[in-house]
Amino acid sequence: MKDVTYWTICYIGAVQSELELCAVEKRYNYRIYPNKEQEEQIQRNFGCVRFIYNYYLAKRIEKYESGEGMYRFYDACKDLTELKRTEGYEWLRKADAHSLQNAIKNMDNAYTAFFRRVREKNGAPGFPCFKSKKETRQSYTSQAQTGKNVIYFTDKEIRLPKLGLVKCSVSRQIQGRILSATVTQVPSGKYYVSICFTGPGAEQLPQTGKRVGLHFGVKTLAVSSDGRVYENHRFLEKSQKKISRLQKRMSRKPSDSTNREKARIALAKAHERVKNQRADAMQKLTTQLVREYDVICVRDDKLREMKRHRQYSYFLSDASWGEFIRLLKYKCEWYGKQLVEIDPSYPSVQLCSTCGHKNTEVAKKRLPIWTCPNCSAKHDRAKNAAKNTLTEGLRILVES
């Protein structure tokens, strides 16, 4: 009987480990509505996390400049335990213990990344910046543990360490093991919790046999090789008049006044609305593309270099191409579709999709409609570029 029980436990453990290997990490965001006491505890956690981050960053910089060697992550964790017992620092015990350890971890990652950028000669003018109370976005991360620190959902609430049950807008259920929870206060003053968990991968979407090439633009967000035009909603441009008015209103208020804070929150809400509109449109469009096509080909444009030009930067930021491609990448990976990125130097605009003739005048004169001098085929600039993107993407896919 003991042997049967032992092998049963081993089998269950093997199945669980196999499921964990198949699982992927996901993150869901929820809006929370803390009461007055919970809000005070959240602000207390923010303050303690800022202090610990700045305290050990200063200590690490001091150790480096004095030549005493590296002050590593585990040394800081050991010192944190002693610091809580030190007279004058007892208030650190009121904060979530895991959030303080994560603050040290974030500091260590920022410090390590600083030296990596120095070695790679990618800028890095100085040490990592210290955190400020005046920053409009504050956050802390708590780990999901057993016992007192367990995190779980009810129908309309979520239980968080040190906060208890907090009113929450539970839009979707979590199927998996919760790893951590990050509480964030955005510039508009709203509170959100981001739950990181391991769960099963997304179900594979059925294959449609369709392939498409996309050409990005400013007037239209994208044009597909099969003639579809996806609208560029220009949410920022439509709200710019209101945002400018709110910015002027805030600039006229005296600094550190209550009216200025009210004006700042109104401006933050206007920017947040634009952000939410853009995110909603991007999510819907990328999901539609992944459902309809098996292979999606795009040109990997160097957006950072393009944004340096003043005439393009505003419109590129409003179009949000980078976020569009980022969403396509992970959704294609999740749902079993393929995203092919071609080289940005590929002249998709200048090539004739019928005969392959290269016409440099198209790019120089920015012709919206042009006729190929070789085969006399008439082309729409964006649609022709999308067809060439699809052709080049399929060639790369076959060679790989």
Backbone phi, psi, residue 161, to 5°: -55, 135
Cα–Cα distance between 130 and 110 in angstroms, integer? Answer: 11
Helices (H) and strands (E) in the chain, counts: 11, 14
List the strands of the sheet with 295-299, edge to edge.
229-231, 220-224, 211-216, 295-299, 338-342
pLDDT of residue 264: 94
Listed in order, strand segments (DSSP E) in 100-143 are 138-143
Q: How many other β-carbons are positioned within 10 Å of the β-carbon of residue 331?
A: 20
pLDDT of residue 21: 41
Q: Do strands 164-168 and 378-380 pair parallel, antiparallel, or not at all (unpaired)?
A: unpaired
Q: Do strands 338-342 and 369-371 pair parallel, antiparallel, or not at all (unpaired)?
A: unpaired
Cα–Cα distance between 366 and 363 in angstroms, integer? Answer: 5
Q: How many other β-carbons are positioned within 10 Å of the β-carbon of residue 191?
A: 19
Query: The tokens 């505003």 sit on which residue?
Result: 314
Max Cα-Cα span within the chain: 86
**Please, are residues 300 and 329 in contact by the beta-carbon 8 Å criterion?**
no
pLDDT of residue 146: 62
pLDDT in tens, the chain (400 residues): 334 333 322 333 333 444 344 578 888 999 999 999 999 999 999 999 999 999 999 988 888 888 776 677 888 888 898 999 989 899 999 999 899 999 999 998 888 877 766 666 555 556 888 999 888 899 999 988 766 668 888 889 999 999 999 999 988 888 888 999 999 999 999 999 999 998 877 788 899 999 999 988 878 888 999 989 999 889 998 999 999 999 999 999 998 899 999 999 999 999 999 999 999 999 999 999 999 999 999 987 766 556 566 666 777 778 888 888 999 999 999 899 999 998 888 888 888 988 888 888 887 777 888 888 888 888 888 899 999 999 999 999 888 7
User: Which ranges of 145-296 would DSSP assign to H, the alpha helix?
Assistant: 235-251, 258-292
pLDDT of residue 196: 92
Cα–Cα distance between 75 and 61 in angstroms, integer? Answer: 14
Residue ranges of the domains in the chain? 27-199, 211-399
pLDDT of residue 329: 92
pLDDT of residue 7: 33
Cα–Cα distance between 81 and 228 in angstroms, integer? Answer: 61
Q: Do strands 177-185 and 191-199 pair parallel, antiparallel, or not at all (unpaired)?
A: antiparallel
- Identify the CA nearest to 289 among candidates 352, 344, 221, 343: 221
Cα–Cα distance between 387 and 225 in angstroms, integer? Answer: 5
- Identify the CA nearest to 300 among candidates 329, 276, 274, 277: 329
